[in-house]
Amino acid sequence: MSTMVPIRNRSGAGVGVRLLLTAVFVLTILLIQRPNRAQTAPAAPNRETAVPARRVNIPYTTVTRPGIPVPERAIFWYGQVGPADDNYTDVRLIYNDDELVVTFHVFDRILFYDTPPVGNDLTAYDAVTLYLNLDGRAGTSPGTNAYRFEGALNFGESRASYQKAFKGNGAGWSSANINFTTLDGIQMNGINDNNEDRGWNISFFIPYASLGLAGKPAAGTIWGIAAVTHDRDSGGTLPDKSWPDSPDLNSPSTWGELSFGLPVYNPPAANTGDLITVRQGVNGDVVQDGHVGGNSTCAEDLWPNFGRNGAASTTVQRRRGNYLWCKISGTWVISLALTSIMSPSL
């Protein structure tokens, strides 16, 4: 007599075992290939070096003095127009085959200069200082390719006593006999008094030969640059204003950048799509604009509130030379009601 022992269906258990083995195998491979996060994680950025440099790109011109064009010059600015201890400076730059030209236009309510200069500190009165470093924005002290040019306000005297040059020596600055020229201009109601003035300007003409160069820098060359405006009123010296913000003037690595020549922009290829013209009354479109506020100081007294009064919206303070002062603020709205290009699905 034979006994039949039923054979259980083990197919389900076999599938489970195979799935478990497959999962273990895949997990093992993943663990083997998993990167060491401690080794591959990117380093945290250095906040001191991550700050982008201020850069001004200056154009080249074939024109020489005295006809060097003003509208073509690059510009940067710093400071603030105000009624008391504030001042503001526009700096315009251009270069030609012979020299670098840098002009400072200074808004200043009270003008003071030294008559004649006493001692060696031109910056104790109204003056500007231009810093250049031929090695770029680099170095923790002024090297032998770093230069400092000072130019002070005067009132018709020889410029020779109102300009100075210094050169880096690896640790600081040494007085240097460097050939350069300054020219200044002024608009005032008086000088060395409390009559309210408008300001002054000064231009630096720095030959490349004075910097040890055979000719103009090649396009794309980058120098370090910084600028400081010094101010004195009847009450004494006022805080300096500088570009870039709060540089260490003995550390060129904290300065801005001066790039010779204008960068070339190559736009990427793009699909222009359809060209749509929106015009009042065309295809039922309604285009309306309305002025909702604004102010101007163009017909008002300049002081004491120049730069401080008017509508607190968009403000434009403009200056060229010593004569154009105007603050304009305004806001406007353009409202479009379009019917011709609106898709039913929008």
- Domains of the chain, each with CATH number or no CATH: 55-260 (2.60.40.1190), 282-337 (no CATH)
| Contact of 260 with 216, CB cutoff 8 Å | yes
Whole-number pLDDT of residue 2: 42
Q: 87-98, pLDDT tens digit by residue?
A: 899 999 999 999
pLDDT at 336 over 70: no
Residue type present at position 329:
S
Using DSSP's 3-state secondary structure scheme, residue 288 falls into: strand
Whole-number pLDDT of residue 285: 82
pLDDT at 104 over 60: yes
The percent of residues in the chain predicted with pLDDT above 70, rounded, is: 68
Phi and psi at 167, nearest 5°, equal -130, 145
The percent of residues in the chain predicted with pLDDT above 90, rounded, is: 50
Stronger pLDDT, 243 or 300, i.e. the higher one: 243
Most confident listed range (113-122, 144-153, 331-340): 144-153
pTM of model > 0.95: no
Least confident of 20-29, 53-62, 101-110: 20-29
| Contact of 190 with 48, CB cutoff 8 Å | no
Whole-number pLDDT of residue 305: 58
pLDDT at 153 over 90: yes
Q: H/E element holding 293? A: strand 286-296
Sign of the Cα pseudo-torsion (170, 173, 176, 180, in order)? positive
The band of 279, judged by pLDDT with boundaries at 50, 70 and 90, is confident
Q: What are the tokens at 336?
A: 């479009």
- Rounded CA separation 181/101 (Å): 10
pLDDT at 296 over 80: no
- Rounded CA separation 68/103 (Å): 12
282-293 burial, b at 16+ Cβ within 10 Å, e below that, comes to eeebeeeeeeee
- Rounded CA separation 85/88 (Å): 10
pLDDT at 127 over 70: yes
